[in-house]
Amino acid sequence: MREKPTLRIPLGIIALLAVLTVYAVLVASASDYIGQLHVLVQTVIYIILGTIWLLPLRRFLIWMETGKWSAPEE
Question: Where exactly are the structural domains of the chain?
Answer: 8-62
- Calculate mean pLDDT across residues 66-74: 74
- Please state the three-class secondary structure of 15-55 as a single string: HHHHHHHHHHHHHHHCHHHHCCCCHHHHHHHHHHHHHHCCC
Instruction: State the pLDDT confidence band at 69, using cuts at 50, 70 and 90.
Output: confident
In tens, the pLDDT along 17-57 reads 999 999 999 999 999 999 999 999 999 999 999 999 898 88
In tens, the pLDDT along 4-21 reads 778 888 999 999 999 999
pTM (2 decimals)? Answer: 0.76
What's at 64, amino acid-wise?
M
What's at 63, amino acid-wise?
W
